[in-house]
Amino acid sequence: MSKQVTTISEEGFSATNEVREFETLIDATGEEAPDTLEALLSAYATCYVPALRVGGQQRGVDELGRIEIESTGELNEDDKLESISFDVHVEADVDDETADEVVERANELCKVHDALKSSLHAEIGVEADAF
């Protein structure tokens, strides 16, 4: 199985991403839409929500209720991500030990968390004069 996304940029630094029948706009400058790092943080946190829910169920918390994740990406002097932190807020009353167990399990389940490993950097091929 594979995932397919087509990214199209007619000019400038923004691009439309075609994902099945959906389209998203990402603007590297952040002027017309979320920038690339904001899109990455959004995807990471969005992936983390079901990982938390399943992790909770597997660790004895049947329902976490409302989940809110405040994501922060710290940048280095080259404007590249240096670190990411999540402030996770859940509706359920969960003790610290259980919360730690749920987070540990969510880290194992979240596909974006896994994809951020350096061993999964993209292999790059360039086709010049393609259009």
Query: For the chain, what is the domain count?
Result: 2
Region of residue 8 (phi > 0: left; psi between -120 and 50: alpha; otherwise: beta): beta
* H helix count then E strand count, the chain: 3, 5
Range of the structural domain that residue 9 is part of = 1-34
Mean pLDDT (the chain) is: 91
Q: How far is CA 1 from CA 4, 91, in A?
A: 10, 35
71-95 tens-digit pLDDT: 999 899 999 888 898 999 999 999 9
Both 69 and 9 in one domain: the answer is: no
Q: In angstroms, rounded to a whole number, what is the distance separating the alpha carbons of residues 44 and 114?
A: 10
Q: In angstroms, rounded to a whole number, what is the distance separating the alpha carbons of residues 63 and 42?
A: 23
Both 39 and 29 in one domain: the answer is: no
pTM of the predicted protein model:
0.88
Both 68 and 92 in one domain: the answer is: yes
Both 48 and 21 in one domain: the answer is: no
What's the token pair of residue 86?
Answer: 């999540």
